[in-house]
Amino acid sequence: MFGRPVRLGLTLSELLIAIALIALVIGFLLPSVQKIREMSNRVACANHLKQLGLGFHRFQDTHGYLPDGGKNECDLPYHPLMPPDRRARCEAADPGDLNYPGRTRPYQPDGPADLRRSEWSWPYQILPFIEQRELFANDDDRLVARTPINVYHCPSRRPAQLYARHATIDYAGCAGSNGSNGIVVQQGTGPISFANVTDGLSSTVMIGEKRIKLDRLGVSHHDNESWANPGWDCEIYRVATNDLDRPATDRGPSPDIAVTDPTIFPDINSGLFQFGSSHPKGINVVMGDGAVRFIRFSPNPKAFLRYCVRNDGEQCSANDL
């Protein structure tokens, strides 16, 4: 007459089975979610480089030459407003003494912003051409140097924010193989234009992702100064070279360093000069013609070297990598 009672809950065994099934589904879905997120980040990173490449082209269209990598105070030619006593200090300083500030940062005299910042590097120089004209014109040097810029960061690595109280950058101009034969050169060795890229714009890297130490963000020598005014420093340029921890990968881009090994890097804050990224398989670069390409880690070393040098007469294509 009354039938069997309705069971409203789950037994313990049923609950455990349900939890196990949910965990199994999550286990299947999580890698897919992570893969989709990385794909989205990689596309966003490529778009950032596309904007930087357009900034370089617009700069040349306006000025007739390319933005450069800035310079340090004691590098020739001296700033025209540098007084004789500071020039004498530069000439007397030991070239290897990095404790002397003139070896590691631009000279900034008093006066209008265009004079104070004339030795600042390419990330500052292209600001008007990447929709940052107001920041470019801001008279407060400290504010400019401490303003994070979203387009200067790869979302696979980190958000645009202050690190160790300064604004950073994840992209570097390509300085070739020796610092002087790439599209980005030290101020005073140029200026150069696209006409000087004799190997072809489509065959020469202009800007790429830079390798860094993830456990030393804002501290290592390649990441401890602002994107705006580090001087001619590895914050803003990279070359086709190998690093101490990957001797077998000659001149190719490498993954970011997750944990710095003090047996390989006695100075755990030492700088890196190699291209690299936090992507799983390679790096994004923008070529001289503005095209964005993906280069896998550990490519053909000779081909990658040719890819970075603007004028060695050795053209190569993406297929060579």
Q: What is the pLDDT of residue 6?
A: 52
Mean pLDDT of 57-74: 96
Radius of gyration of the chain (CA): 24
Q: Greater confidence, 283 or 6?
A: 283
Mean pLDDT of 111-140: 95
Measured between alpha carbons, how far is 131 from 169 in angstroms, rounded to an integer? 17
Confidence category of residue 234, pLDDT binned at 50, 70, 90 = very high
162 close to 181: Cβ distance less than 8 angstroms: no
Candidate from 118-122, 240-244, 293-297 with smallest mean pLDDT: 240-244
Question: Does the pLDDT at position 126 exceed 80?
Answer: yes
Confidence category of residue 9, pLDDT binned at 50, 70, 90 = low
Q: What is the pLDDT of residue 285?
A: 97
Q: What is the pLDDT of residue 33?
A: 59
Q: What is the pLDDT of residue 82?
A: 92
Question: Does the pLDDT at position 11 exceed 60?
Answer: yes
Structure tokens at 240: 């086709």
Candidate from 13-27, 129-143, 177-191, 244-258 with smallest mean pLDDT: 13-27
Mean pLDDT of 235-261: 87
Confidence category of residue 3, pLDDT binned at 50, 70, 90 = low
Question: Does the pLDDT at position 118 exceed 80?
Answer: yes
Confidence category of residue 32, pLDDT binned at 50, 70, 90 = low
Q: Strands 237-238 and 254-255: what pairing? A: unpaired
Q: What percent of the chain has pLDDT over 90?
A: 71
Question: Does the pLDDT at position 7 exceed 60?
Answer: no
State the pTM of this model. 0.87
Question: Does the pLDDT at position 30 exceed 90?
Answer: no
Residues 193, 198, 200: CA angle, nearest 5 degrees: 95
Q: What is the pLDDT of residue 27?
A: 66
Mean of the per-residue pLDDT values of the chain: 89
Q: What is the pLDDT of residue 98?
A: 66
Which helix (H) or strand (E) segment holds residue 208: the answer is strand 205-209
pLDDT digits (tens, 9 = 90+) for 149-169: 999 999 999 999 999 999 999
Q: Where are the domains of the chain?
A: 14-71+119-320
Q: What is the pLDDT of residue 265?
A: 94
Burial of 30 (C-beta count, 10 Å sphere; 0-12/13-18/19+): exposed
Measured between alpha carbons, how far is 51 from 239 in angstroms, rounded to an integer? 21
Q: What is the pLDDT of residue 316?
A: 78
272 close to 239: Cβ distance less than 8 angstroms: no
pLDDT digits (tens, 9 = 90+) for 267-307: 999 999 999 999 999 999 999 999 999 999 988 888 999 99
Beta-carbon neighbour count of residue 70 at 10 Å? 30
Measured between alpha carbons, how far is 223 from 11 in angstroms, rounded to an integer? 56
> Residue 222's closest CA among 191, 259, 193, 256?
256
Q: Is the peptide bond before 80 cis (omega within 30 degrees of 0)?
A: no
Measured between alpha carbons, how far is 245 from 13 in angstroms, rounded to an integer? 51
Candidate from 26-30, 66-70, 89-93, 215-219 with smallest mean pLDDT: 26-30
SS3 (DSSP) at 64:
coil
Structure tokens at 298: 């550990």
pLDDT digits (tens, 9 = 90+) for 194-224: 999 999 999 999 999 999 999 999 999 999 9
Measured between alpha carbons, how far is 245 from 231 in angstroms, rounded to an integer? 26
Confidence category of residue 4, pLDDT binned at 50, 70, 90 = low
Measured between alpha carbons, how far is 276 from 273 in angstroms, rounded to an integer? 9
